[in-house]
Amino acid sequence: MKIKRLEFLFLTLLLLSFIMLSYPKNAEIRAGTKILQERSFQVEEWEKRLNQRQPPIKIMDAIGLKQGMTIGEIGAGTGRMTMWLADRVGESGKVYANDIDRSALDHLRRRYKRDGFKNVETVIGKMDNPGFSFGSLDVVFMINVYHHLAESDPIIRNIRPSLKPDGMLVIVECDPEKVDWGDEHGCSRKEDMIDDLKKAGFEVVRIETFLEEDSIYIAKPIISF
């Protein structure tokens, strides 16, 4: 009888310690899930606003992006534009999504898997080199990134080898002729963009100005550079 009581006590203690050990974990998981849900809600809200300012389809049409193209996106972040690019180039095309931020690319990877895209691959880059393969890309695309670059010249020079012979570099950048966000934001002036790109071996062949706050620079490698 005494032994049974001891057994009962032992089992009760075991059960209690199991509940106590597992409770904080469950609470942490619930808190973690909530944070993730809030974060993805914030990302979605931010994307919605940015897509109104920079309508992806209009931008892709203006550049002339087509099915079957291979695109390298620099500074893809959480993949706002990547998904539109992947949809446009289709299964016969490919998007290499680069960033220096590993956690952003993790988010992007989860996203394209969730949405069933098989034509996207992430590429972790260096500050001065996106790390795309030689002669592989029809287009290198950059949106809301140029003014974030610590130094634009080295990375722009390192884009050149990854382009196919008739490949192009496309940069969507806020335009200080249209917005006044101060020096801190650092939107690049048209003259500076043209000059910087020339020094890094690209000639701006077309500038699209239809966006309200941004301009689109389409540049080709200077052959004699």
Ligand X SMILES: C[S@@+](CC[C@H](N)C(=O)[O-])C[C@H]1O[C@@H](n2cnc3c(N)ncnc32)[C@H](O)[C@@H]1O
- Contacting residues toward ligand X, per CB under 6 A: 74-77, 80-81, 98-101, 104, 125, 127, 143-145, 148-149, 155
Closest CB to ligand X among residues 144, 188: 144
Q: How far is the CB of 13 from ligand X (least distance, A)?
A: 51
Torsion region of 135: left, alpha or beta (phi above 0 gives left; psi -120 to 50 gives alpha)? left
Q: How far is the CB of 16 from ligand X (least distance, A)?
A: 47
Residue 158 burial (CB < 10 Å; 0-12/13-18/19+)? middle
Closest CB to ligand X among residues 30, 148: 148
As separate numbers, helices (DSSP H) first and strands (DSSP E) second, the chain gives 7, 7
Query: How far, in Å, CA of 171 to CA of 213, rounded?
Result: 14
Supply the angle between the helices 56-63 and 80-89 in degrees, to the nearest 10.
50
Q: How far is the CB of 74 from ligand X (least distance, A)?
A: 5
Query: How far, in Å, CA of 182 to CA of 176, rounded?
Result: 9
Closest CB to ligand X among residues 25, 114: 114
Q: How far is the CB of 191 from ligand X (least distance, A)?
A: 23
Closest CB to ligand X among residues 74, 197: 74
Q: How far is the CB of 168 from ligand X (least distance, A)?
A: 18
Closest CB to ligand X among residues 17, 42: 42
Which DSSP letter does residue 161 get?
G
